[in-house]
């Protein structure tokens, strides 16, 4: 899963929904994971948009 940084409104709703605590606000990303900020932005350009009943998870 990637998050489009241009579409994200920083509401934080997805953070507690992640079952493996893998989502951080960009200001809270641990130093050891900072490379993911640019990778997420790059991969979000062509990513399929998730659909479903939650802000972050597709239903299927």
Q: Which residues bind ligand SF4 (CB under 6 A)?
A: 3, 8-14, 55-56
Q: Measured between alpha carbons, how far is 10 from 7 in angstroms, rounded to an integer?
A: 9
Cβ proximity to ligand SF4: between 46 and 49 the closer is 49
Shortest Å, Cβ 31 to ligand SF4: 21
End-to-end CA distance of the chain: 14
How many residues are present in the chain? 60
Shortest Å, Cβ 5 to ligand SF4: 9
Cβ proximity to ligand SF4: between 17 and 34 the closer is 17
């Amino acid at each position: 899963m990637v998050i489009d940084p241009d579409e994200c409104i920083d509401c934080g709703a997805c953070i507690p929904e992640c079952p493996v605590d893998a989502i951080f606000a960009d200001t809270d990303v641990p130093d050891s994971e900072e490379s993911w900020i640019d990778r997420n932005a790059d991969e979000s350009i062509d990513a399929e948009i998730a659909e479903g009943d939650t802000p972050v998870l597709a239903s299927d």
